[in-house]
Amino acid sequence: MKQTFTAWCNSHLRKAGTGIENIDEDFRNGLKLMLLLEVISGETLPKPDRGKMRFHKIANVNKALDFIASKGVKLVSIGAEEIVDGNLKMTLGMIWTIILRFAIQDISEGLLLWCQRKTAPYKNVNVQNFHLSFKDGLAFCALIHRHRPDLIDYSKLSKDNPLENLNTAFDVAEKYLDIPRMLDPDDLINTPKPDERAIMTYVSCYYHAFQGAHQLLDWIRRTMPWLNSRQTDNSLAGCQKKLEDYRTYRRKHKPPRVEQKAKLETNFNTLQTKLQCKTGSVLENDFSIAIVNLVHQVESIVKQHQIPGGLENPYTTLTAHRDGTLAAELRKQQNNENLRRQFAEKANAVGPWIERQMDAVTAIGMGLQVGVNIDLRGGGMTHGSLEDQLHRLKEYEAGVYAYKPHIEELERIHQAVQEGMIFENRYSQYTMETLRVGWEQLLTSINRTINEVENQILTRDSKGITQEQLTEFRASFNHFDKNRTGRLLPEELKSCLVSVGYSIGKDRQGELDFQRILAVVDPNNTGRKMVNKYQVIFDKEETTYEEVLSADSRCMEY
């Protein structure tokens, strides 16, 4: 249980760039305990005491316990002194209480039923509880296969190999679902009755990981009416409250949802690619289109919520307090000027940096399929395999995420600017709105580029395509993609096919053949005028145009 609870805490603390090694030691001063509660609740706790004396530690732990109690949780026999003293039993009891409140409470009654329904079709799986039913590992594998059949080949698993089953499930969950190892396979197998709380904690992580799309859609449905509301109580305080709520939404609530949407889109694209490679069919992408439409709607609402013009100078007449009033206004304007310069100095560094990264990602995207890498450290060009490109892109992604503290610092300065009612800044062309949009676009672009490389590797390996064939097509694609949008018009697509050796007739039969190709590269029939970036796949034995048309799986939409 100690190992499981430590892993669960670290799965949340890493979002704040930290972690723990010893659960009964690292929470003793209360600082990481308060940070853990802030991460999992999304709320801000009172400012912690920074002293190192015992009473400072007790004060911090009490702040954490008070916060837990404020959520309606009864802490029986758990006091700050026991946590500060490193009492393992009390610390584990406290963490279990936190897990119950913030991870399991809303799903506790339905979690077992959810497991039973999801694993019902699977052979040798009969989930009746959270201890013996999970000992052989098949239940974990069934849950993964039900939601991500591309990750596990369930038909190859055997009830007689519990160690292999458990290691398979834990490895896949850690690598692809971002769920850390919380359980030890040997302990599960050798213990007559495994710890129910540990398994329930781990299974709850599966539930939250697989319910991502539903959670996002629920959030969308709850948020859209609020965003569409324009009514106020016609008072200054009411308007200021509306503005503050909206700033909180943009700064705190929207960014994690944008990241969640990007991850869901990546998973959808990967499933789409793997399914088409194996069966020649594709998933309906209504969900993907719905998410894109959501982004467009939210952005249109953002534009309508822009703060208008400036404010009139309230000092229009002289009063008996003229001198004091002017002095106060001078101090205010001097402070505003300092805030403008602080914001401009930071924004003028962050803005060009984001633009350079976007240019770099675009350059990588245009060179992906010709086996050319951008040297992200030195700016030069190097040749390598798709695997080399994927490795470099992930290094680059890590570097971009490491830049996030600069964005957060700029947000803090911007908050001070907003509180000072400063609406213009002559020292910078960048606004916080444009920088936020640029940062979100950069993260989405990197994520999509990595996904494209992974799908190219999958397509190459499943079809036996050589690097030379990939290089030839990508060079042709780039030639006709004049404006570097990553998409081709139908006529550009036709010219691209001709350039790689396939002649399409100008008669009625040629037009029908071309429409068949369009139906493959645009399988969902979205009706868009532009055709999405795609990859034409050639098998080694096929050399004629007719053979290419007869193979439904040779054209793939990206």
- Tell me what percent of the residues of the chain surpass a pLDDT of 70: 73
SS3 240: helix
Query: What does the block give as tokens for 134?
Result: 């999970």
Rounded Cα–Cα distance for residues 447 and 449 (Å): 6
Q: To which residue do tokens 């100008």 refer? A: 506
Summarize pLDDT for 333-346 with one digit per residue, the tens: 888 889 999 999 99
Rounded Cα–Cα distance for residues 287 and 433 (Å): 27
Cα distances (Å, whole numbers) of residue 349 to 352, 407, 431: 6, 11, 12
Task: Give the model's pLDDT for residue 333.
Answer: 84
Query: What does the block give as tokens for 522?
Result: 């645009």
SS3 147: helix
Query: What does the block give as tokens for 289?
Result: 């289109």
Q: Could you list the pLDDT tens digit for every one of the 558 residues in the chain? A: 788 889 889 988 988 889 999 988 999 999 999 999 998 888 889 999 888 899 899 999 999 999 988 888 777 778 889 899 988 888 988 888 888 787 776 565 678 888 998 899 999 999 998 889 999 999 999 999 988 888 899 999 999 999 999 999 999 998 888 888 888 899 899 998 988 888 888 888 888 777 765 666 667 777 777 777 767 676 767 777 777 887 787 777 777 777 767 766 666 666 556 555 655 555 554 444 544 554 554 454 445 444 443 434 444 444 445 556 656 777 888 888 899 999 999 999 999 999 999 888 877 766 643 333 334 444 444 445 778 878 888 888 898 999 999 999 999 999 999 888 888 889 999 999 999 999 999 998 898 888 888 887 887 787 777 777 777 777 777 788 777 666 777 888 878 877 877 677 777 888 888 888 777 776 666 544 333 344 443 443 343 444 444 333 333 333
Rounded Cα–Cα distance for residues 47 and 35 (Å): 11
Sign of CA dihedral 418, 421, 424, 425: negative
405 CB-contact burial (10 Å; exposed 0-12 / middle 13-18 / buried 19+) = exposed
SS3 96: helix
Sign of CA dihedral 478, 482, 483, 486: negative
Domain annotation for the chain: domains and CATH numbers:
2-104 (1.10.418.10), 108-210 (1.10.418.10), 212-307+325-456 (1.20.58.60), 464-557 (1.10.238.10)
Which residues have CB under 8 Å from 151's CB, separation 6+? 144, 145, 172, 176
Percentages of the chain per state (helix, strand, coil), in multiples of 5: 65, 5, 30
SS3 446: helix
DSSP state of 374: E
Q: What per-residue string of b and e applies to 182-193 under the rule 16 or more CB within 10 Å gives b?
A: bbbbeebeeeee
Summarize pLDDT for 464-504 with one digit per residue, the tens: 777 777 777 777 777 887 776 667 778 888 788 778 776 77
Rounded Cα–Cα distance for residues 188 and 166 (Å): 9
